[in-house]
Amino acid sequence: MRDRLAITACTGLVMAGLLGAMERQTLGQPAPAAPADTAALRAQYEQWRTEFKTWGKWAPVGQESKGATSLITPQKVAGALRLAKDGVVVSLAHAEPQTVAADVAAPGIFHRTMNAITDTGSTDNYQVSYHGQTVAHIDSWCHFFENGQMYNGVAVKENVTNESGCAKGGVMNWRDGIVTRAVIYDIAQLKGVDWLDPTVPVRRADLEAWEKKSGVQIGPGDIPLLYSGRWKRRAALGPWTGQVAGYYPDTIPWMHDRLPAFIGHDFNIDWNPRPGWEGMRNPIHVAVLIWMGINIIENLDLEQLVATARRLNRYESMITFGPLPVEGGTGSPVNPLVVF
């Protein structure tokens, strides 16, 4: 019996090693060619800049607006609370990074410094640059600009300074916290894999196929949580950067039709690599943060969440989180909690 276990374990290690080698070989190949629909999507993207703007929908243009989080009404909150049936609570934040890695730039290291240790207690300081690829965080409108404006036509020049940060469009918009309905999009399960190939984006057809399979879908004010298996893959093969199974441009109309409050992902939300989109920075970030007023919550650790959802066969739940109330902040680290 012991020999059989040893053989099984060795076989598993060999298979994991072969899988890792295959993926590393894939990531070492030249950048893929642009998909066949790239030119058409680029043209549509330019049309969507105007067609999909929600400026003025929830506040006059040029004024502060909470964007699509305005759709989290008291009724929406009450409905989300009713989803907490079993009292099972799951955190969606990975441990803060302590060492530099492929997906952890030096500024992203979470520095915890002890100030003093006395007979009666201790204190410490925290410091981190949370925007990036590792820390679970939300963005604010003043994190992304286009043509001198941020979401809802707020002028950058009058509202963002080195001294005060964001007078409008900052993270204080969400200081009262978020409580709403989350819908888990388990695309890895849909495709029958442990994790998605990070070089292949998630398309609208994938999202809709999962909705049909699971029987649930997002609506106004909800939050989709897209599971690619990022952290499981990282644990098995090590950290990487430059390839993300993120949302493809054909998901932008889906987002506009549904108007979720936030777009969630276990990595950055933009697909990468982006052949045919050279010179355009983070097209999905731009579309949601600047045009549509949909916020972002990314780098989430969805491993425990997905394991729980699969066990319970429930892919909708209550989610709650809140930013640090930093006046002028461009975003905030968060530790979202899902309650089944």
What would the DSSP string read from start to end of 187-247? HHHHHTSSS--TTSPBPHHHHHHHHHHHS----TT-EEEEE--HHHHHHHH----S-B--B
Strand 262-265 versus strand 122-127 pairing type: unpaired
pLDDT category at 10 given cuts 50, 70, 90 is very low
Q: Express each pLDDT in 230-279 by its tens digit.
A: 999 999 999 999 999 999 999 999 999 999 999 999 999 999 999 999 99
Average pLDDT on 223-231 reads 98
pLDDT surpasses 50 at 13:
no
- The answer to whether residue 31 scores a pLDDT higher than 80 is no
What percent of the chain has a predicted confidence (pLDDT) above 90?
82
For residue range 102-131, what is the model confidence (pLDDT) as tens digits? 999 888 888 888 998 999 999 888 888 899
Q: Which of 166, 172, 162 is nearest to 154 (CA)?
A: 166
* Model pTM score: 0.89
| Amino acid code (one letter) for 74 | P
DSSP state for residue 166 in the 8-state scheme: E
Q: How confident is the model at residue 25 (pLDDT cuts 50, 70, 90)?
A: very low
Q: What is the mean pLDDT of residues 164-177?
A: 95
- At 172 the pLDDT is 96
Quickly state the pLDDT bin for 97 (edges 50, 70, 90).
confident
**Model confidence at 194, in pLDDT bands (50, 70, 90)?**
very high
Nearest to 323 by CA among 286, 281, 295, 282: 295
Q: Among candidates 211, 280, 200, which has minimal Cα distance to 248?
A: 200
Whether the CB-CB separation of 273 and 245 falls below 8 Å is answered with no
Q: How far is residue 70's CA from residue 246's CA, in Å, rounded to a whole number?
A: 25
**Please, what is the average pLDDT of the chain?**
91
Q: Kindly give the interhelix angle for 2-27 and 230-237, rounded to the nearest 10 degrees.
A: 110
pLDDT reading at 327 higher than 90: yes
Judged against a pLDDT cut of 70, whether residue 339 lies above it is answered with yes
CA distance linking residue 203 with residue 251, whole number of Å: 6
Distance, in Å, from the CA atom of 201 to the CA atom of 247, rounded to the nearest integer, reads 6
Query: What is the full DSSP assignment across 292-316?
Result: I--EEEES---HHHHHHHHHHT--E
The model's pLDDT over 41-82, given as tens digits with 9 standing for 90+, comes to 999 999 999 999 999 999 999 999 999 999 999 999 999 999
Q: 93 exposed, middle or buried (CB, 10 Å; 0-12, 13-18, 19+)?
A: middle
Round to whole Å and give the CA distance between 305 and 336. 11
The distance of Cα 294 from the centroid of its chain, to the nearest Å, equals 12
Q: Residue 72 burial by CB count (10 A; 0-12/13-18/19+): exposed, middle or buried?
A: buried
User: Is pLDDT at 17 greater than 50 in this prediction?
Assistant: no
Q: How confident is the model at residue 33 (pLDDT cuts 50, 70, 90)?
A: confident
Residues 271-315 have pLDDT tens digits of 999 999 999 999 999 999 999 999 999 999 999 999 999 999 999
Q: How far apart are CA 183 and CA 316, in angstroms?
A: 4
